[in-house]
Each structure stands twice: as structure tokens, then as C-alpha cells.
Amino acid sequence: MTTFVDRVELHVAAGNGGHGCASVHREKFKPLGGPDGGNGGRGGDVILVVDQDVTTLLEYHHSPHRRATNGKPGEGGNRSGKDGTDLVLPVPDGTVVLDADGQVLADLVGQGTSFVAGQGGRGGLGNAALASARRKAPGFALLGEPGKAQDIVLELKTVADVALVGYPSAGKSSLISVLSAAKPKIADYPFTTLVPNLGVVATGSTVYTIADVPGLIPGASQGRGLGLEFLRHVERCAVLVHVLDTATLESDRDPLSDLDVIEAELRAYGGGLEGRPRLVVLNKIDVTDGRELAEMIKPELEARGYQTFEVSAVSHEGLKELSFALAKIVADTRAAEPAQESTRVVIRPKAVDDAGFTVTPEESAEGDVLFRVRGEKPERWVRQTDFANDEAVGYLADRLNRLGVEDQLVKAGARAGDGVAIGADDNAVVFDWEPSLAAGAEMLGRRGEDHRFDAPRAAVTRRRDKQAERDEADEEFRDFDPFA
């Protein structure tokens, strides 16, 4: 049974905003007391938060679909809907969040670090909030905005200062068990370690974490064995420790060739490991042959530039010197890091010529010109419009006109009846553009009506004229007599 998972695909969906309410206050002797529809509640967010008590992504492996609650709709009597509850998902320290294309969205390191993976939708305004001097009793309300839904990938990269790497059964688990209080599984067969093990070591005034990574074999960077799956766990470490088995019973292996193979795999993997400090540990010197081999190859390793230690996880020989050497490298690395600056609030004022939207002419599939409008406000307004209500559509037209969309359409060469699309290609609202009248809301009649929809639209008229021409041509063809 799987007990450790360090990569999952998670499907998150934020809550939808609640719809606004269109209501009119009524009481005895006051049948039309004015609009009193409340606003809809905000949809809940999906938030990833680092929790030190969580060490694996196993929970999301079994339940990959997560959804926050929706906001409640508004009600009459100026009662606003309840906001949706945020969904907080605890993740291990060192979790990297990627989108479906592999782009990094967030790197969550440190207790309490959070990332909003799904933004909840805004609640729609009720007709009480939409009332104005010109529109005293709106007969419509705005719809709640849908919450953001997306697929993300969570990858765990262990946050450790020291990483032990080496062949299976080189003694890495035994070493971490005597250097720290960690209790990994130890046995005399390859791939005993199936998941990274973390331990905390206190040496002098320096406290650092040490990770035991599952054994590497030739081809690990291409996916052989367990290497590729767990090599990401050494990316954050300050120092790499090569654990070499000096008492191996395999005739085709020796410590120097093992070192060359592991170094080749680390270079092939990349991840910034090329310039990381390295130490070499010659393990199992409690075995007679192992001590002799260690003494024989240590000068050659030092000639290559490696700081080398002869140790035994069984007799604890050489562990004190190794621990202090690791503590010094970790302390020096921490001291060389730039000082943490306090978080600054960056204010980016809107440019003077930034209209907040763009109008781009495009050629449609039928060969006609389509004008696409993109921008946060126009797209949000479209999502919140009830197109079954003419007054709501008229209100949308007024808002777009005030924003300057119609002026930009005219500058782009749009004419009455041309197609206009607001939104992305896969989720756009397309309509035939009819320039608004100079007068806006004051031309509205009864609630739910807009006189601008009474007359046929220019595009409809043109289509009718073209259809009439085709019908006339078909009639002439049927009346044509080739023998006359």
C-alpha cells in the first residue's frame, strides 16, 4: 500500500458567487416601497497552506478533486447572502505548485506560507445596490460570478540542508539513524528505502536537517530504479554527501566507480546540483576489508578535491568529525545567503492611457470581421448579466458605453451589425453590435423591458434582405423555361 506520495495532480474549483436578488419592498398601503433585493455572497477560495505536520501528499492522491462552497444568493428585505467557506488544504513544506503546462505558480517554503489556488467568484449585486437617480426601481439583479477552476500539479521537494546519495545498501539509512533521531527501515537488501527520510542533527550551535534519498543506480536520471522519482528531493540541499560502500560483495563494483556513476547521474539530472558542495563518506570501515579499501582510495579521492571521511555506522567511528564538517558547510551557506528583506507593498498605478480593455479585429470562420473585446471589467460584466432580462442587457450596454467600449469599436472600424465577442475564444459572448442611443437608462420603460430592443437590429434586417434576394433568385430559376 502506498504511504508516501510526492507528486499529485489536483483538480481545484473555487466556489461560485451567489446571485443578487431582484425584489421590491411591499407592505400595507405601500405596494411599491422600492427595491430591497440583497447582494449574493462571495464564493469560497481554495487555499494551499504549508503545515509542518504534513509530510506527504498522500491525502490528495486518494482525493484529487477539491471544491470550496458557493456563496448564498441574496434575499428580499436587503438580506445579503452568506459568503462561501474557504477551503484550506495543508501541504508539506517544500511543495511546488505548477499549472497544467508545467509553469511554476508558487514555491511554498516555510510554515504558514499560503497560495490561493482558486479564487472564489464575486457575488452579484441585488437591485437595491443597482438603484440610482435615473434607475429608481431596477427590475433585475446581477448574477454571481463563477469561481475559478483549474488543474494543478503539486510536487514535493524535501527541504533539507544535507542530502545523502549513493547506491542502494550503501548504508545511508544506517548513517542517518545514528546521526539523528530518525528511525528509517534498515535491511540488507537493495531498495530498502522507498521514501526520503528526514532527520534533525544538532552539532554545536548549528541545527540542520539531513535527508536519506532512495538509492541511485545507472540510468536513474532517465527513470531507472527510483532515482528520477526522488532526485528532486536533493535540489534544495546545501551539501551533497556521497556515501560509498567499501565492503560491497558485488565483484563488478568499487567505491570509485560508484562515485563516477552517481556524479554522472547528478549531472544528467541538472537541477542546479553541479556546483553544490560535496563530501565523500567511506562507510563500513568496521569491516576489515572495508577499512583497508578505504585507506587505499582515500588519497585518490582527496586528490580529486573531495573532503573524505572514513566512518562506521555500527561502531560510530568518524561520525563526530563528519557531523562538525557538515555543520560548518551548512553554517557558511546560511551566512552567505542574502539577508531576508521585509515584504514590500508594490503599488503599480494604472497608466494614463490604459483603458482597461482592448478591441481587436479578427476574421471569423465565415469570413466576416469579428471585433473581440478583452478586459477584466467587460468580461466580468458579461458573466454577471442575465441575458433573459432585456433591462439587464440594457444595463450592460450602458456600462460598456460608459467604459468607452463603443468609442473604441468605432475607432476600430466597427459598423452597426458587425459581430462583437467579449471574452476568450472558448468562452465568449458574441452578439451583433448596435450603437447605443445617446440617452441610456432614462429611455427604459417598465421593469424588465428596454425600448432599444423594440426595433429590429440592423444585422437582422440585412440577413432578411439577403434571404429575400435568395428567395427571389430561386423563384426566377424555377420560372425559367429553357425551351421557350
CB 43 within 8 A of CB 121: yes
Rounded-to-integer distance, Cα 422 and Cα 382, Å: 8
Rounded-to-integer distance, Cα 107 and Cα 274, Å: 22
Give the pLDDT band (50/70/90) at residue 348: confident
The label of the residue with cell 444595463 reads: 395
pLDDT at 370 exceeding the cut of 80:
yes
Provide the pLDDT for residue 207. Answer: 85
Max mean pLDDT range (85-89, 105-109, 184-188, 251-255): 85-89
Give the pLDDT band (50/70/90) at residue 438: very low
Provide the pLDDT for residue 16. Answer: 96
Q: What is the share, in percent, of the chain residues with pLDDT greater than 70?
A: 81
Mean pLDDT of 300-325: 88
444 against 235, higher pLDDT: 235
Burial of residue 277 (CB within 10 Å: 0-12, 13-18, 19+) is middle
Provide the pLDDT for residue 3. Answer: 54
Here the cell at position 478 is 424555377
Helix, strand and coil content of the chain, in percent to the nearest 5, comes to 30, 20, 50
CB 126 within 8 A of CB 146: no
Rounded-to-integer distance, Cα 145 and Cα 18, Å: 8
Using the 8-state DSSP alphabet, how is residue 266 labeled? H
Mean pLDDT of 131-152: 91
Rounded-to-integer distance, Cα 361 and Cα 394, Å: 24
Using the 8-state DSSP alphabet, how is residue 439 labeled? -
75 against 136, higher pLDDT: 75
Here the cell at position 289 is 576489508
Least confident of 223-232, 334-343, 418-427: 223-232
Phi-psi region of 219 (alpha: psi -120 to 50; beta: other; left: phi over 0): left
Q: What is the pLDDT of residues 397-409, one digit of tens each?
A: 889 888 888 888 8
- Write down how long the chain is: 484
258 against 232, higher pLDDT: 258
Contacts of 264 (CB under 8 A, 6+ apart): none
CA atoms lying within 13 Å on the CB side of residue 398: 17
End-to-end CA distance of the chain: give it in Å, rounded: 89
Give the pLDDT band (50/70/90) at residue 1: very low
Least confident of 45-49, 61-65, 198-202: 198-202
Provide the pLDDT for residue 221. Answer: 46
Mean pLDDT of 139-168: 88
332 against 196, higher pLDDT: 332
435 against 44, higher pLDDT: 44
**Residue type (1 letter), 39:** N
Angle CA 119–121–123, to nearest 5: 145
Mean pLDDT of 320-344: 80
Max mean pLDDT range (180-189, 269-278, 426-435, 467-476): 426-435
Provide the pLDDT for residue 130. Answer: 92
**Residue type (1 letter), 83:** D
- The alpha-carbon radius of gyration of the chain (Å, integer) is 34
Q: In what order do the strands lie in the sheet with 87-91?
A: 87-91, 46-50, 114-118
Give the pLDDT band (50/70/90) at residue 157: confident
Provide the pLDDT for residue 222. Answer: 47
Please give the model's pTM, rounded to 2 decimal places.
0.71
Using the 8-state DSSP alphabet, how is residue 215 labeled? P
pLDDT at 396 exceeding the cut of 60:
yes
Mean pLDDT of 413-426: 84
Q: What is the pLDDT of residues 89-141, one digit of tens each?
A: 999 888 889 998 888 898 888 888 899 999 999 999 999 999 988 888 898 99
Provide the pLDDT for residue 44. Answer: 96
pLDDT at 189 exceeding the cut of 80:
no
CA atoms lying within 13 Å on the CB side of residue 135: 23
pLDDT at 446 exceeding the cut of 90:
no
CB 6 within 8 A of CB 57: yes
Here the cell at position 401 is 458605453
Q: What is the share, in percent, of the chain residues with pLDDT greater than 90?
A: 22
Mean pLDDT of 172-182: 78
Max mean pLDDT range (82-91, 100-109, 192-201, 303-312): 82-91
pLDDT at 440 exceeding the cut of 60:
no
- Residue 288: helix, strand or coil by DSSP? helix
Mean pLDDT of 411-424: 86
Give the pLDDT band (50/70/90) at residue 436: low
Provide the pLDDT for residue 11. Answer: 96
The rounded mean pLDDT for the chain is 81
